Structure formats: C-alpha cells, structure tokens
C-alpha cells in the first residue's frame, strides 16, 4: 500500500502522505490559588463532547503544572479548550500544534497500523509516565538530513525504528507532524510504564545515526497521566469533584 502523495525533490522520494490526520494541541500550564478546577473540567468536557480526545497529566518541574494533550477532528474545539483553560485561571507556559501523520518512510504499512497512527486511542492503559518534546532534523554542512536521498534516509529510519521496537510494551510513541505549524518539525509524545522506561528508550535511540548525527531536540516536559479529577487533586486545585 502506497502511503505517499507524490515524489520529493528530484523525484526520488515521496513528498508526504495521502491521508489527513487529526489536529493535535499540547498545552502546558501553571495553576495558582485562583485557578477554577470546575472551569477546567468544563473546558475539558466540552472538548470531549465534540469528538476530541483529551489526556491530562500532573507535570513535574518548574516548566508547568498541568499538561493537556487534545487531539481529534475539530480544530475549533481545540481552540475553545485553550480559551476555557485560560478563562479558568490556567497560564499557558508552553504549547505545541501539530497533526497526526503516517511517515513517508512507512510505505506499505498495514491499514491497522496506519489507522493507529492517524487516529490513535489515548492514553494507553497502565502507562502513566508521560513525556513530550519537539524535534527537527539538522541542516548543517554534511549533517543536512534533507540533502540525503530517500533511500539513505529510509535506511537510517528503519534502523531508528528497530531501536524503538525494543521497548514495545514498555513505551508507546506518538509522533505528530508540525512542519509549517510550529517552531519544530515534529512533536514526540511518549507514554511509559515508568519514568525509567522513558529515559532508557530516549537514551538508547540517541545512539542511532538518525538521532546522533541528524537530530535537534527542544525542551522536555514530563509528568504522570491520570483522570482529570486526580490530576487536579494532585495540583491542589479544587473542582466539582470536591
């Protein structure tokens, strides 16, 4: 099955994918004593009511308190979610906009796998550890990813994927495309059995040439996924569940 839309530069590579994906919005917020938990719940439920999925996480470190991953067919609903969270007293400190996609290096992927990438069901059961980071491919001198021909890139990505598959059952990866939509080219969301699984996975894959030579990484944000009422309770934010 050909998952591409056409040929890339010089006609040697596919330029993209032929199936539209879902809209994806990552929001990372700080909360304070005046944050309205009931308002947060209302914003999340309103987004879910339009057919979008919303994943919430209690974040660790100074970068944010509340992590919200929303994805689905309605872009307007994602905008309304952001508006609702801000109105409830959340301060967005970092955000990321992207689309689910099937990689151009996944030509011939079975339809079941294609659907899992374009329309994932999140969060995975029993994987509470959460990590998000953006990344791009380098364009520097001999380490310019986009000067490689398609076959060379494909070989590197196959090796990179083989490293990731070693963590099957321990880590689930969601890679979303953001070229032209945000500051980086991809957003990477990881769900793991534990923080150690996430750390081991990222460390192992750093040695692959696709990462070691050609990858640039943005900030990492980590936390623990849970139902919204539990996340708000962990953050000390009151809501209708109280």
The answer to the question of residue 180 being in a domain is yes
d(C-alpha 86, C-alpha 81), whole Å: 9
User: In the prediction, which pLDDT does 6 show?
Assistant: 30
Model's pTM, two decimal places? 0.90
Instruction: Determine, yes or no, domain membership for 9.
Output: no
167 inside domain: yes
For all residues of the chain together, what is the average pLDDT?
A: 91
Q: Which residue in 130, 131, 138 sits closest to 184, CA to CA? A: 138
Residue 40: inside a domain, yes or no? Answer: yes
Residue 45's SS3 state is: helix
Report pLDDT for 200. Answer: 98
Rounded CA-CA distance 16/98 in Å is 15
Confidence category of residue 108, pLDDT binned at 50, 70, 90: confident
Domain membership of residue 100 as a residue range: 16-234
Residue 242 lies in a domain: no
In a domain, 156, yes or no: yes
For residue range 13-54, list pLDDT tens digits in order: 345 545 679 999 999 999 999 999 999 999 999 999 999 999
Q: Is 203 a catalytic residue?
A: no
State residue 120 phi and psi, 5-degree precision. -70, 155
Output the pLDDT for position 238: 77
- Which one is catalytic: 94, 96, 133, 146? 133
Burial class, 52, CB count within 10 angstroms (exposed 0-12 / middle 13-18 / buried 19+): buried
In a domain? residue 3: no
């Amino acid at each position: 099955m050909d998952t591409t839309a056409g040929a890339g530069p010089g006609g040697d590579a596919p330029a993209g994918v032929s199936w539209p994906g879902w809209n994806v919005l990552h929001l990372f917020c700080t909360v304070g004593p005046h944050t309205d938990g009931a308002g947060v719940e209302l914003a999340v439920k309103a987004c879910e009511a339009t057919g979008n999925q919303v994943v919430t996480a209690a974040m660790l470190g100074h970068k944010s308190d509340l992590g919200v991953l929303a994805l689905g067919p309605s872009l307007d609903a994602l905008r309304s979610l952001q508006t609702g969270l801000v109105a409830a007293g959340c301060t967005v400190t970092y955000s990321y906009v992207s689309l689910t996609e099937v990689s151009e290096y996944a030509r011939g992927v079975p339809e079941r796998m294609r659907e899992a990438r374009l329309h994932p069901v999140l969060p995975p059961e029993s994987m509470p550890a959460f990590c998000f980071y953006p990344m791009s491919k380098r364009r520097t001198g001999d380490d310019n990813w986009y000067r490689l021909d398609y076959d060379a890139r494909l070989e590197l990505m196959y090796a990179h994927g083989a490293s990731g598959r070693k963590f099957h059952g321990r880590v689930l990866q969601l890679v979303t495309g953001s070229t032209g939509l945000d500051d980086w080219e991809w957003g990477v969301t990881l769900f793991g059995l534990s923080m150690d699984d996430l750390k081991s996975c990222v460390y192992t894959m750093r040695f692959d040439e696709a990462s070691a030579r050609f990858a640039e990484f943005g900030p990492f944000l980590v936390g623990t996924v849970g139902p919204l009422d539990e996340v708000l309770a962990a953050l000390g934010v009151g809501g209708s569940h109280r």
